[in-house]
Amino acid sequence: MQLTTHDSNMEFTVEQIAQMLNGTVKGDKSLKISQLAKIEEGEEGCISFLANPKYEQYLYSTNSTAVIIDKTFEPKKEYTATLIAVENAYAAFTLLLQEYQKILMQHKKGIEQPSFISESAKIGTDVYVGAFAYIGANCTIGNNCKIYPNVSIAEGTVIGDNTVIYAGVSIYHHSQIGKNCIIHANAVIGADGFGFAPQGDGTFATIPQLGNVILEDNVSIGANTTIDRATMGSTIIREGVKIDNLVQIAHNVEIGKNTVIAALTGISGSTKVGESCMIGGQVGMAGHISVADKTIVTAQSGITKTVKQSGRIMAGSPAQDSHDNLKSQVLYKNLPKIEQRLREVEEKIKHL
């Protein structure tokens, strides 16, 4: 079941929401829900969720009309909210947020003026194009796409169904964007890779960047993130990848399926990151290396060499196994004491 409405306001019964979430209601099924809220900030008409035990106290005092809980949860005190018991409260609330977002965007259809759409561009049904957007020659825009104001989509670009591109995004020529993608404000997809050849006289000659960028389905790109086009071939962001704000992906990089990358990370050219990796904030990766599937890289780490073994947790700069890195940090903190002890030993040796 999907939630549907004729305007931007959500109003559903607890029973309708429970059916959508495959949940069981404990309380009044007929109560109306019109808003989503944190459990500690809930008011009448709101629905909240409880997934983290440290927030359990708010269940007994919340003013939310309904609260989504895990099926295994057993309240310890009296409560007034109607409960919806599901397999996973956090996942269920995420699904509810996604449905609510769809409702809020339903009214976004049509082409605002002024905007430019090339006569050779193919535009799908139920598309929204905001004011001052530019869609170049031979572009293909899928059904139900949302192109917000001041977006620039250069010639030959293909964008799949249900993709949302927020204000100020620049997509360079012949990029390929999959279905159900989200590209947040001011991201740049397909700028030239950083390719320059040193010359004998000390100058640098620009190496033409003739490739493109491919984003597969269900990819999310954060605000002000940049993904460079390949020198030849493609820079590829595989299905399900989630990239935070202010991330730099260089030319010919490949990011594996369902990998997540936090803000301020930089990945150098031709590096291959595996599937289901978790990359923390401010991580730096050298070029022409590979990172195995399911690797976890903690914040501010520097990956300078290939990571061959799947599932490792890497930390530090240069990065090493997190356990070894913690040992190194302990030794580093104790260096002044170690130095003092060494000097004392040296003095004793002198007097022998």
345 found inside a domain: no
Same-domain check for residues 100 and 130: no
Per-chain mean pLDDT for the chain: 94
Report the pLDDT averaged over residues 117-124.
98
The answer, yes or no, to whether the previous bond of 208 is cis (omega within 30 of 0) is no
Counting the structural domains of the chain, the total is 2
Angstrom distance (rounded) from CA 221 to CA 236: 13
Residues 6+ apart with CB under 8 A from 187: 169, 170, 221, 222, 223, 224, 225, 226, 227
Catalytic residue among 107, 251, 323, 351: 251
Same-domain check for residues 153 and 247: yes
Same-domain check for residues 75 and 123: no
Same-domain check for residues 124 and 253: yes
Q: Write down the pTM of the prediction.
A: 0.86
Report the pLDDT averaged over residues 41-49.
96
Same-domain check for residues 123 and 62: no
pLDDT on residue 10: 66
Same-domain check for residues 205 and 276: yes
184 tagged catalytic? no
Cα torsion angle, 286, 262, 214, 169, sign: negative
Same-domain check for residues 67 and 126: no
**What is the residue range of 54's domain?**
12-105
Q: Residue 336 is inside which H or E element, if any?
A: helix 335-350
Render pLDDT for 306-335 as a digit per residue (tens, 0 to 9).
999 999 999 999 999 988 888 888 888 888
Residue at a domain's end among 84, 105, 126: 105
Render pLDDT for 141-193 as a digit per residue (tens, 0 to 9).
999 999 999 999 999 999 999 999 999 999 999 999 999 999 999 999 999 99
